[in-house]
């Protein structure tokens, strides 16, 4: 089991720890609901050092990124990022990821560079997959073990971070980033991204400085009631926003068009892995779609629960579910046959033989 540079911090704070993607990670500190509400309404901090970071650098770096990802990286200017996915050759998803267009200070003449940020559970798989596709004049560098990542999330994130840096954070638009000095530490990449829908920043920096950055954020945020936040609240926050979790809502057998990710599947950018298959799916339609679900019962829908129509026919399966801390109702996501995917459609979630009334709900749940 691997530790992050912040494991000792979590243990000192009394965090409930558990294995996650091969790492010893904090699930909660004071409780998932409290941590969730603090991020929604104030500011919280997540250890996400377990995520993977790959540099793609070379004269044909864009060609490789365009081949292996579904979004159109040619649209990225330096300082911009985009959400994307890695399709496999069967039209499924190897992983979902962020693509950053980096400055060219690290490059030789004529080269460009990207950073791909991938899920911890897929790090090795993604690395092997991208390398297998690399027939271009470009190289891949795995910087995951040298890179720390802290997510500062919530509406008061700016108030915590701005006193620590000369970067004009208010000017950073969503999905843009800047590099500079933060809390006296050089070469910190500050990204206006996150997985909570609550606003905030993600900070990439050298592993050896991560613990000091954690301390600096908590010192700055102390008057604001900043709190450490575990993976439990990270999951409830992302689910309220309808964000997919790899391994639950998307996987190697899921098409991005089924998962509602057509907006990151740019069929007009030229050929990429499975693009012809996706083009056909767009023309003919997909047989199932990922939808939001709200339940009338107080019981929570769980991964794998069957979904039935009004006549008792099996029409799908739950992929994620929780009791929404913000809305105080059970919510979930799942795949249903396309005719049942319209918002407002009544369905049943089957729990231990009991059929719980539910309704297809437009995402996100929390607005």
User: Rounded to whole angstroms, what are the CA distances from 306 to 207, 287, 302, 358?
Assistant: 43, 17, 9, 12
Q: What confidence score (pLDDT) does residue 103 get? A: 92
Please give the share of the chain, as a percent, with pLDDT higher than 90: 96
Residue 284 has pLDDT above 80, yes or no: yes
Mean pLDDT, residues 305-311: 98
For the stretch 326-354, pLDDT in tens is: 999 999 999 999 999 999 999 999 998 89
Axis-axis angle for helices 231-240, 32-41 (nearest 10): 60
- Amino acid 129: pLDDT: 98
At residue 353, the pLDDT reads: 84
Give the distance, in angstroms, between the CA of residue 30 and the centroid of all CA atoms in the same chain.
23
Share of the chain above pLDDT 70, in %: 100
Whole-angstrom distance, CA of residue 358 vs CA of residue 199? 30
Q: Over the chain, what is the mean pLDDT?
A: 97
What's the rounded mean pLDDT across residues 269-285? 98
Residue 106 has pLDDT above 80, yes or no: no
Question: pLDDT band at 104, cuts 50/70/90?
Answer: confident
Domain pair 7-48+146-240 / 287-361, same fold: no
254-268 pLDDT tens trace = 999 999 999 999 999
User: For 205-225, what is each residue's pLDDT tens digit?
Assistant: 999 999 999 999 999 999 999
User: Is pLDDT at 82 greater than 90 in this prediction?
Assistant: yes
Burial label for 314, CB within 10 Å (0-12, 13-18, 19+), is: exposed
Whether 51 and 117 have beta carbons less than 8 Å apart is answered as yes
pLDDT of residue 105: 79
Note the pLDDT of residue 297. Answer: 87
The fold of 287-361 is Elongation Factor Tu (Ef-tu); domain 3 (2.40.30)
The model's pTM:
0.97
Average pLDDT over residues 44-48: 98
pLDDT band for position 108 (50/70/90)? confident
What is the rounded CA–CA span in Å between residue 13 and residue 201?
A: 23
Residue 248 has pLDDT above 90, yes or no: yes
Closest C-alpha to 46, from 198, 180, 239: 198
pLDDT digits (tens, 9 = 90+) for 169-190: 999 999 999 999 999 999 999 9
Q: Is the pLDDT of residue 40 over 90?
A: yes
Rounded to whole angstroms, the Cα distance separating 177 from 76 reads: 12
pLDDT on residue 60:
97
Measure the CA–CA gap between 77 and 70, rounded to whole angstroms. 17
Residues comprising the chain, all counted: 367
Tell me what pLDDT residue 49 has: 98
- Judged against a pLDDT cut of 80, whether residue 320 lies above it is answered with yes
Q: Given this model, what pLDDT does residue 110 score?
A: 86
For the chain, where are the alpha helices, taking DSSP H only?
A: 7-12, 32-41, 61-68, 123-133, 157-161, 210-221, 231-240, 275-284
The average pLDDT across 94-117 equals 92
Distances (CA, A) of 277 to 119, 143, 339: 25, 33, 22
pLDDT of residue 107: 76
Question: In this model, does residue 17 exceed pLDDT 90?
Answer: yes
Question: Average pLDDT, stretch 143-166?
Answer: 98
Q: How many angstroms separate the CA atoms of 302 and 304, rounded?
A: 6
pLDDT at residue number 279: 98
Instruction: Tell which residue, 248, 226, 232, 245, has the closest CA to residue 323.
Output: 232
Integer Cα distance of 163 and 182 in angstroms: 9
Both structure tokens of 13: 């704070």
According to CATH, the superfamily of the domain at 7-48+146-240 is Probable tRNA modification gtpase trme; domain 1 (3.30.1360.120)
Compute the distance between CA of residue 40 and CA of residue 31 in angstroms, rounded to an integer.
14
Residue 298 CB burial class (10 angstroms; 0-12, 13-18, ≥19)? exposed
Q: Angle at CA 226, nearest 5°, toward 222 and 232? A: 155
φ/ψ of 154, rounded to 5, equals 130, 165
pLDDT at 246: 98
Q: Where are the domains of the chain?
A: 7-48+146-240, 287-361
Q: What tokens does 255 get?
A: 């098409």
Cα separation values, 14 from 9, 11, 28, Å = 9, 5, 9
- DSSP structure string for 21-59: TTEEEEEESS-HHHHHHHHHHS-EEEE-TTSEEEEEEET
């Amino acid at each position: 089991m691997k530790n992050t540079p912040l494991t000792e911090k979590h243990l000192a704070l009394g965090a409930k720890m558990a294995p996650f993607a091969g790492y010893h990670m904090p699930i909660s500190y004071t409780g998932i609901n409290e941590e969730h509400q603090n991020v929604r309404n104030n500011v919280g901090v997540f250890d996400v050092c377990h995520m993977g970071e790959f540099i793609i650098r070379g004269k044909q770096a864009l060609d490789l990124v365009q081949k292996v990802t579904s979004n159109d990286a040619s649209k990225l200017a330096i300082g911009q990022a985009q959400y994307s996915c890695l399709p496999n050759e069967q039209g499924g998803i190897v992983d979902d990821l962020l693509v950053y267009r980096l400055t060219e200070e690290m490059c030789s003449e004529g080269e460009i560079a990207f950073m791909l940020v991938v899920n911890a559970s897929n790090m090795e798989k993604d690395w092997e997959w991208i390398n297998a596709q690399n027939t271009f004049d470009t190289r891949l560098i795995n910087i995951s073990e040298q890179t720390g990542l802290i997510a500062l999330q919530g509406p008061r994130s700016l108030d915590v971070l701005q006193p620590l840096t000369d970067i004009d954070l208010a000017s950073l638009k969503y999905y843009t980033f800047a590099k500079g000095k933060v809390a006296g530490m050089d070469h910190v990449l500050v990204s206006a991204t996150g997985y909570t829908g609550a606003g905030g920043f993600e900070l990439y920096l050298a592993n050896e400085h991560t613990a000091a950055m954690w301390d600096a954020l908590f010192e700055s945020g102390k008057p604001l009631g900043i709190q450490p936040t575990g993976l439990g609240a990270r999951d409830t926050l992302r689910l309220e926003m309808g964000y997919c979790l790899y391994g639950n809502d998307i996987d190697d057998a899921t098409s991005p068009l089924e998962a509602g990710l057509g907006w990151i599947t740019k069929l007009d950018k030229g050929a990429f892995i499975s693009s012809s298959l996706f083009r056909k799916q767009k023309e003919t339609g997909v047989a199932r779609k990922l939808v939001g679900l709200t339940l009338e019962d107080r019981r929570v829908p769980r991964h794998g629960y069957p979904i039935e129509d009004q006549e008792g026919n099996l029409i799908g399966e739950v992929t994620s579910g929780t009791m929404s801390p913000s809305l105080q109702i059970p919510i979930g996501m799942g795949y249903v046959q396309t005719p049942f995917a319209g918002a407002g459609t009544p369905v049943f979630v089957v729990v231990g033989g009991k059929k719980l009334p539910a309704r297809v709900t437009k995402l996100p749940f929390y607005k």
